[in-house]
Amino acid sequence: MSEIKKVVLAYSGGLDTSIILKWLQEEYDCEVVTFTADIGQGEEVEPARAKAEAMGVKSIYIDDLREEFARDYVYPMMRANAIYEGEYRLGTSIARPLIAKRLIEIANETGADAISHGATGKGNDQVRFELGAYALRPDIKIIAPWREWDLNSREKLMAYAAEHNISVEKKKDGKSQYSMDANLLHISYEGGILEDPWAEAEDDMWRWSVSPEEAPDQAEYVELEFSKGDIVAINGKAKTPATVMAWLNEVGGKHGIGRDDIVENRYVGMKSRGCYETPAGTIMLRAHRAMESLTLDREVAHLKDELMPKYASLIYNGYWWSPEREMMQAMIDQSQRHVNGTVRVKLYKGNVSVVGRKSDTDSLFDERIATFEDDQGAYNQADAEGFIKLNALRLRIGANR
């Protein structure tokens, strides 16, 4: 074990990170700074302060990062229509780089030489935290207790907590068998019966949305206004990124929108099964694509589609703070200059249906040309012959072979 003077811990206030806090103090005999963030997980963050104080922590950081998270992480990612493996909306992935950044900022402010986190050695989150941290401060030391200690079972953890007087609160709803993560973009579930990919998720697992069956029998229409690819108003009312997302989470959840049940490929090499609720994200992505369908040039759209899987993998794998992500972002952001207008969606029992899209300033939809009616010469049908003939030329030469 290397010499550590001061370590910044990503501290939720929950049992696991409280044990880590204590363990760091004991094993490394160093000062621990705690950092707790509100990124929209829907739980109070202030209680973490008292717990940290009780364990003798002097530097306690508690930040409300909701706007920063929505504006600087979720929104840029939405511009890319990012989806990992055709299904996963990257809810956990996109929050980690922000946490990593704050850990390093706090380490710099407090003169700490290390950071620590509560992610296990099997998952993607350790990678995301640590790649971000190394990219932002290459000499940082990182302590990942789950990869180091021998508290590798629930029993040992409980024994350690008891031994060190760490209070084990009963969870309010007691029974959660799942490993969960939540932020403004989503809540996720892993473990428990989900470890059998054939088993259907149980109804009472889901927390943010009602089932489509329980959703209202009445559809709801929503108009989303875009500026440069970002949603800036809903139903004519301007909103900040975080309030856009909070509003859409509530309305989407009410209509049973955004549940996903996926087997995904982790960066560390294994498949895992996760269930996700992403109400706002599901609506945002659908609407963004619709806005682009009206305002984006075809080849720009196709290029974005071809590069999207790579961009999504970068975020999934933890490379937000990498030069290749920044390079791709420069391209994506450049493409969004004209993505302005309004999309109208219908929400009904799990469905997000795009029913209209318009753009006063940037539509590339030209009714005069596209019409089945007489187009007054806007398009010369005879041009199609030459177009086809030259596109066919190489095929014809090939067929002659």
Binding positions are 10-18, 37, 88, 93, 118, 120, 124-125, 128, 179, 188, 264, 276
Per CB under 8 A, the list member of 42, 46, 111, 387 interacting with a second copy is 387
Local structure of 38: helix, strand or coil: strand
Q: Which of residues 294-313 bind a second copy (CB under 8 A)?
A: 294, 297-303, 305-306, 309-310, 313
Question: Taking CB under 8 A as the rule, which mask of x and - marks residues 34-53 in contact with a second copy?
Answer: --------------------
- Answer yes or no: 16 catalytic: yes
Q: How far apart are CA 89 and CA 83, in angstroms?
A: 5
C-alpha dihedral (370, 375, 381, 384), degrees to nearest 10? -20
Q: Pick the closest to residue 247 from 229, 264, 234, 228 (CA basis).
A: 234
Nearest approach, Cβ of 243 to a second copy (angstroms)?
A: 26
Given 79, 96, 259, 273, the catalytic residue: 96
- Among positions 167, 203, 236, 369, the unique one binding a second copy when judged by CB under 8 A: 369
**Alpha-helical segments (H) within 28-124:** 47-54, 66-69, 75-79, 96-110
Of 3, 29, 44, 367, the one binding a second copy by CB under 8 A: 367
176: contact with a second copy by CB under 8 A? no
Strand partners, 342: 225, 358
In the complex, what is the shortest distance from the CB of residue 189 to a second copy, in angstroms, rounded to a whole number?
A: 11
Report the half-sphere exposure of 272 (CA within 13 A, side-chain side). Answer: 18
**In the complex, minimum distance from the CB of residue 249 to a second copy, in angstroms, rounded to a whole number:** 19
Q: Does 197 bind a second copy (CB under 8 A)?
A: yes
- How many angstroms from the chain centroid is the CA of residue 336? 20
379 binds a second copy (CB under 8 A): yes
CB 300 within 8 A of CB 335: yes
| 125 in active site | yes
Q: Are 89 and 248 in contact (CB under 8 A)?
A: no
Active site residues: 16, 96, 125, 179
